[in-house]
Amino acid sequence: MAGRPPGAPPQTTATRPGAAPASEPVTARLRKRLRRARRRLRTAGVDYFRGGAADWPVLCALALLVPLMIVLNIWIPDWAPPTALVLPILAGALLLRPGSLVVLYALAALGLSAESVIHTGQRVASENPEAYVYGVTPGAALVVGAAGVGGLLLAQFRARVGVPWWGGSTMLFDLRERLRVQSRVPALPAGWHADMALRPAGGQSFSGDFVVAARTGPGQRLLEVVLADVSGKGMDAGSRALLLSGAFGGLVGSLPAHDFLPAANGYLLRQSWEEGFATAVHLVLDLDTGEYELLSAGHLPGMQRLAGAGRWEVKEAEGPLLGIYDGAKFDGVRGRLNRGDVLMLCTDGMVEAPGRDLAEGMDRLMGEADRLVPGGAPGSGAGAAAALIETVARDINDDRAVLLLWRD
């Protein structure tokens, strides 16, 4: 006790200089370890479902199913036939990479051989040929082998795409929704209305037709709409339509109206696609005066219904297809939407049909539109675009898109 002042309290282990701090309670250490384990498990699960983690845990789990299937086949062969080995094979085809899948296939082949040996021994021991009814028949081996080949092809396709099977479907869903959101016409001021409908060919989710619309100019008093039709249809044109819709969405409003189609033409030429052409119509509408300009790149003409005259007028602009040659010129046509007037834009799927020319198809479309488009009352005509598709081009195996703009 030398060196300690008289009357000072004795130094304990916890307060003595240089001594280790008191140990934590056992329950606190267990809680910390449990939190760390839970965090690691959650991180590993997120990484795996994003396709960036190792798949050996899944391989180990599926590998344990193989001996389980063998045991069940021996104990209850009526409920676990040899073809039950297809279950881990199919699960591996969805969850494993090709290299790990080959390891699982080797284990399944060993399991199938073991079942064959066991049931063959049972038949010999019982001297009853019917005992082999639970054994590995050539048909059972063929079923397991065919499932393995199909699973390996599926795994190789996933590896080439670079996304897990669940991520691929999620990504396609997200792309489809982005394309759909980008095709919406923005909210218009009082007195203006828009209705748009799009139907891909064959009832598919992706279409070669798309719409890009934005409010631009000072005070966002200009409405710019681009209706485009990419070469091809359905899923074949869906990827190019998605790429072009993003590019066109970046160009609309960033360039003067007369520079949009030349810029879009140059973009398509730089892609060097085998089917690298598209048609497009570009509408620039002044929401204050109703005056508009329509520029076309090989697209169908616009159609305006004149409320005062009670008839339709074709608005045809001049311009070549996009992506054909550099330096293309696009000349627009001007017009004005008065109160009660309707402007209709559509793609060729609405008017083309075997044995019918475009003029006849447009006449039929305008005739049906006379019955379906609004008559000037605010809010009327909602759903008219979809009704036009169902009436005029319901059974056409092509992408179809219709846009209606009208003013009260």
Residues 250 and 390 in one domain: yes
Which of 132, 162, 192 marks a domain boundary? 162
Which of 162, 179, 194 marks a domain boundary? 162
85 versus 9: the higher-pLDDT residue is 85
Mean pLDDT, the chain, integer: 80
Judged against a pLDDT cut of 60, whether residue 18 lies above it is answered with no
pLDDT interval class at 33 (50, 70, 90): confident
205 occurs within a structural domain: yes
Which residue range is the domain that position 247 belongs to? 170-407
271 occurs within a structural domain: yes
pLDDT interval class at 136 (50, 70, 90): confident
Residues 280 and 349 in one domain: yes
One-letter amino acid at 226 equals V
12 occurs within a structural domain: no
Residues 345 and 281 in one domain: yes
Residues 376 and 233 in one domain: yes
pLDDT interval class at 377 (50, 70, 90): very low
Q: How many CB atoms lie within 10 A of CB 353?
A: 17
Residue 177 confidence (pLDDT): 72
Judged against a pLDDT cut of 60, whether residue 379 lies above it is answered with no
Judged against a pLDDT cut of 60, whether residue 23 lies above it is answered with no
Q: Three-state SS across the chain?
A: CCCCCCCCCCCCCCCCCCCCCCCCCHHHHHHHHHHHHHHHHHHHHHHHHCCCCCCHHHHHHHHHHHHHHHHHHHHCCCCCCHHHHHHHHHHHHHHCCHHHHHHHHHHHHHHHHHHHHHHHHHHHHHCCHHHHHHCCCHHHHHHHHHHHHHHHHHHHHHHHHCCCHHHHHHHHHHHHHHHHHHCCCCCCCCCEEEEEEEECHHHCCCCCEEEEEEEECHHHCEEEEEEEEECCCCHHHHHHHHHHHHHHHHHCCCCCHHHHHHHHHHHHHHHCCCCCCEEEEEEEEECCCCEEEEEEECCCCEEEEECCCCEEEEECCECCCECCCCCCCCECEEEECCCCCEEEEECHHHCCECCECHHHHHHHHHHHHHHHCCCCCCCCCCCHHHHHHHHHCCCCCCCEEEEEEEEC
239 occurs within a structural domain: yes
Residue 19 confidence (pLDDT): 44
Residues 152 and 175 in one domain: no
pLDDT interval class at 374 (50, 70, 90): low
Residues 124 and 43 in one domain: yes
Phi, psi (rounded to 5 degrees) for 395: -100, 20
Q: For the segment 235-290, what is each residue's pLDDT rounded down to a tens digit?
A: 667 778 888 888 898 899 889 989 999 999 999 999 888 777 899 999 999 999 99
Residue 13 confidence (pLDDT): 44
Residues 216 and 347 in one domain: yes
16 occurs within a structural domain: no
Which of 142, 162, 182 marks a domain boundary? 162
Q: How many CB atoms lie within 10 A of CB 277?
A: 18
153 versus 357: the higher-pLDDT residue is 153
pTM of the model: 0.68
Phi, psi (rounded to 5 degrees) for 29: -65, -40
One-letter amino acid at 373 equals V
Q: For the segment 214-226, what is each residue's pLDDT rounded down to a tens digit?
A: 999 888 999 999 9
Sign of CA dihedral 139, 85, 144, 122: negative
Residues 269 and 285 in one domain: yes
Q: For the segment 72-125, what is each residue's pLDDT rounded down to a tens digit?
A: 888 888 788 888 899 999 888 888 888 888 899 999 889 888 888 887 766 555
Residues 51 and 141 in one domain: yes
17 occurs within a structural domain: no
Residues 338 and 221 in one domain: yes
Q: For the segment 166-204, what is each residue's pLDDT rounded down to a tens digit?
A: 556 666 667 667 777 777 889 999 989 999 988 887 767
Structural domains in the chain (count): 2
5 occurs within a structural domain: no
315 occurs within a structural domain: yes
Among 63-72, 149-158, 314-323, 378-387, where is mean pLDDT lowest?
A: 378-387
Sign of CA dihedral 365, 370, 372, 376: positive
Residues 110 and 182 in one domain: no
Residue 290 confidence (pLDDT): 94
Residues 355 and 244 in one domain: yes
pLDDT interval class at 376 (50, 70, 90): very low
CATH of the domain at 220: 3.60.40.10
